[in-house]
Amino acid sequence: MSSPLKMQENVSIIKPTKSKLFWSKSLEFWGDFSKNKGAVIGGIIILFYLLMALLAPILSIHDPYQIDLSKKLQGPSLEHWMGTDDKGRDILARILYGSRLSMGVGFAAVAFGAFFGIIMGLLAGYFGGWLDTLISRILDIMLAFPGILLALAIISALGPSLINVTFAVGIFSIPLFARIVRGSTLETKELEYIDAIRCLGASDRTIIFKHILPNILSPIIIQGSLRLATAILSAAGLSFLGLGAQPPSPEWGTMLSSGRDFLFSAPYIAIFPGLAISTLVLGFNLFGDGLRDALDPRLKS
């Protein structure tokens, strides 16, 4: 029987090995990721907007909700770098605070869709049979409708609000995550180490969440990063139509909608929110492509 001292020595030997493996994989990932200049630029854009959202109260010198009709429709100046809107509110301050809303909706919607999509995909792929058939048919029904139309139907039933937009965008994200997870689970559960773990008496829950899920995270992360761009763009589009955030909320889609009435007299009201949306979406797309190239072994030479 091994002595406690010897067991401690074995543990101390194993820990550095796992640590070295982790750092080796991290360095390998960074080496592959950094080769893609577009992905690095995308990461910088995302980091810029994250800092902008976190530091909005510090960076903004104006109240995004304060109405001053004496300063309405003023062009960019030293006092108002991006000008003011039709109610005299500072556009830069509203974009800074709006980054919190737009990015918050995107992350919340993707997290919602990923959570339920991962659960459904794992159950369908691992157990198969009637459960797989039932879940697959539900996903087929959801995919039969274009995502934006499904979101419009949900919001029409629930009413226009930013929370309902998050819920709607999250729902039409579920099938994409579920199908990716299901396919990866079907492939992973046939591997020999899963059979060995099952023969050792591991429960289905242990196999699913401790051995299958950690090994299929790469496609989930890639899909999540790419889905963030779609979620932010969809939320902004729904708010533009008046179905999302309601005035005076400084959400980018709402700002873009209010600025369309001044495209000829004060185009900057719509230009700056539009640039914020397009730049952030571009950043997530570039970043997601870089993650795919770095994490997918089939794309490596």
Tens digits of residue pLDDT in 44-80: 999 999 999 999 999 988 999 999 888 899 989 998 8
Whether 157 shows a pLDDT value over 80: the answer reads: yes
- % of the chain at pLDDT higher than 70: 87
Integer Cα distance of 270 and 273 in angstroms: 6
Q: Please calculate the CA angle 247-252-257 and round it to the nearest 5 degrees.
A: 60
Tens digits of residue pLDDT in 89-133: 999 999 999 999 999 999 999 999 999 999 999 999 999 899 999
Residue 16 lies in a domain: no
**CA-based nearest residue to 39, from 254, 166, 225, 251:** 225
Instruction: Give bridge partners of residue 84 from the DSSP assignment.
Output: 90
Residue 129 lies in a domain: yes
* Average confidence score pLDDT of the chain: 86
pLDDT at 136: 93
Global pTM reads 0.85
Residue 196 lies in a domain: yes
Residue 227 lies in a domain: yes
- For 212, which DSSP code? I
Residue 85 lies in a domain: no
CA-to-CA separations, 299 to 291, 293, 296, in angstroms, rounded: 11, 6, 6
Integer Cα distance of 148 and 47 in angstroms: 28
Instruction: Give the domain range for residue 174.
Output: 29-61+91-299
pLDDT at 291: 85
Tens digits of residue pLDDT in 288-299: 888 887 776 555
Residue 231 lies in a domain: yes
Tens digits of residue pLDDT in 3-36: 444 444 444 444 445 566 556 666 666 766 778 8
- Find all residues with CB under 8 Å of 240, minimum gap 6, and list them: 253, 254, 256, 257
- For 90, which DSSP code? B
Residue 81 lies in a domain: no
Residue 201 lies in a domain: yes
- Find all residues with CB under 8 Å of 68, minimum gap 6, and list them: 84, 87, 88, 89
Whether 200 shows a pLDDT value over 90: the answer reads: no
pLDDT at 108: 95
Integer Cα distance of 74 and 86 in angstroms: 9
Omega prior to 248 cis, within 30 of 0: yes
The CATH number for 255's domain is 1.10.3720.10
Our count of domains for the chain comes to 1
